Amino acid sequence: MNMHAEFKLNDRITEDDAFQAAEKFFACVMSDNNIMADCGLDVDDFAEELHKRIFREAVKLFQSQQHINAVSLKPAVPKHIERLPCSPAEYLVNLQKLSVNPAIRYELDASLQIIKGVALARGLAEDAKLATEIASEGHSLLTLDEEIESLEQRLKERRTRLASLKAGVSPGASYLNAFNASARRDGVVGVPIALQEIAKVLSEPVLEAGNLYGLLSSSGEGKTSLTIQLILHAVKHGHPVQFLSYDQSAAQCVRQMIAQEKGIDIRQQRDPSKLMTQHEQDECVQFAMWLDKQPLEIVRCQREGVGQLAAYARRFIKKNATGQTPLIVIDHIGKVKPRDPKLSADRISGEVTVELKALADETQSAVLILNQRNSFGTRRDNPRPIAADLYGGEGARADYDAVMYLYRAEKYKAAREKIAASESDWKKIHKVFGSEVEGIAEIGSIKVRFGDPTITETLKFEARYTRYVSNRPAVSQERMF
């Protein structure tokens, strides 16, 4: 884990990424030749001549209903290529070996998008070069008009190509890819969820790869504590996790993890020599050492915009590709630097969520965005969260696949009891909150794309250890649905 990571803000998908994506694509094709039917690629989408040759031959073999593998592709490649660390024949064998890894199939969609995106960028670079040449040649108004018209036509073709590539996989094939992947792992591809109550509310056994999730709560209700639990659970199951936090440092996050996992509260950790036994001190040290070996990165953000956050995430995912679905967490949306501060909150929210939804889909990761409630909702007679409390308002739900809320009535009841001045005030408090609210948190949803948004569950909140505890007996998530 790199707690003090430094990043280049212009980190983007490169030709090297496209080369690696092409290798993964060919490995997937060797595993399942039918991928050729719906891949939506052309030979010019590959930059390397070797990959062009492999693709051309794969097309011929597929059209003639012959097997695509290292042996059948070998006649199409040369015996030697400079700069290739092995012979082309050995290269094909290596691709064949890669094809037997079941995790490689999970990366197919992301690999296709990288190949297509870099190919289009390559074409745009050619158009830009052409525009520069036109500008330096010296034209009359007539000839300049013709050149601009020609350039516009090229750009129109690029846009048409983009539309066709985005629709390259048929709906049926897309469904079957997900269906088969789920069957192979005996469940949905995604990040395991720490508490079964959350899985029930979301109507999902995992935080699904490619989905964008939201968590709504007010300041002080414990949404970061709940998030830390989700993060630690994912890490313990081998999933890469990146926490992009505008509020907490890495050290603060680790303190909470130790409190939740080891039952050593944060006050003890601040003064270990006086408040902790030697055994407890050893447990803290061992946990920190274990954590440093896990695919976890905590980045203390300052003034980053959504483009920079997405660049951080892409870089992390590329570096920590384990075959397990990555989890990217942003805390919180209201602190992401907007492109234009003059825009309304709903416009700012829309720009952030559409970019992060695209990131989730492109990288096949699960992305969780924390939302801090606006103050208007907390002043309602019944302060239970609703869609209007999201940053950006009710319309901000559009890009999310699911949005859950965390609600601790205890907090609001205590605040209103302090200012109750009449019998009617006390009656209203009792009517809204009841009596059994101490240490109880409610989990619900304000949007579930493929489930029942009316489901609510309760959790116990152990304030000393800043952790939530299930009220249900432990069961495997696969058996819950």
Same domain for 236 and 156? no
Quote the CA–CA distance of 438 and 229 in Å, as a whole number. Answer: 21
Domain range for residue 56? Answer: 15-171
Q: Phi and psi (nearest 5°) for 327?
A: -120, 125
**In 10 A of CB 221, how many CB atoms?**
24
Q: How confident is the prediction along the chain (481 residues), in pLDDT tens digits per residue?
A: 444 443 333 346 778 888 999 999 999 999 999 999 878 888 888 989 999 999 999 999 998 989 999 999 999 998 888 888 899 999 999 999 999 888 888 888 888 888 888 888 888 887 788 778 777 776 666 667 777 777 777 777 767 666 655 555 556 655 655 555 555 445 567 999 999 999 999 999 999 999 999 999 998 888 999 999 999 999 999 999 999 999 999 999 999 999 999 999 999 999 999 999 999 999 999 999 999 999 999 999 998 999 999 999 999 998 888 888 999 999 989 999 998 888 888 899 999 999 999 999 888 899 999 999 877 777 888 888 988 888 888 888 889 999 999 999 888 888 888 998 888 889 888 888 887 888 899 999 999 988 889 999 999 999 999 999 998 665 554 444 4
Same domain for 206 and 345? yes
**What's the CATH code of the domain at 321?**
3.40.50.300
8 belongs to a structural domain: no
Same domain for 397 and 449? yes
Quote the CA–CA distance of 239 and 329 in Å, as a whole number. Answer: 13
Same domain for 143 and 213? no
Same domain for 100 and 35? yes
253 belongs to a structural domain: yes
Short-list 55, 127, 66, 121, CA closest to 92: 55
324 belongs to a structural domain: yes
Using CA atoms in the order 149, 154, 156, 159, what is the torsion angle rounded to 10 degrees? -160
460 belongs to a structural domain: yes
Bond into 332 cis (ω within 30): yes
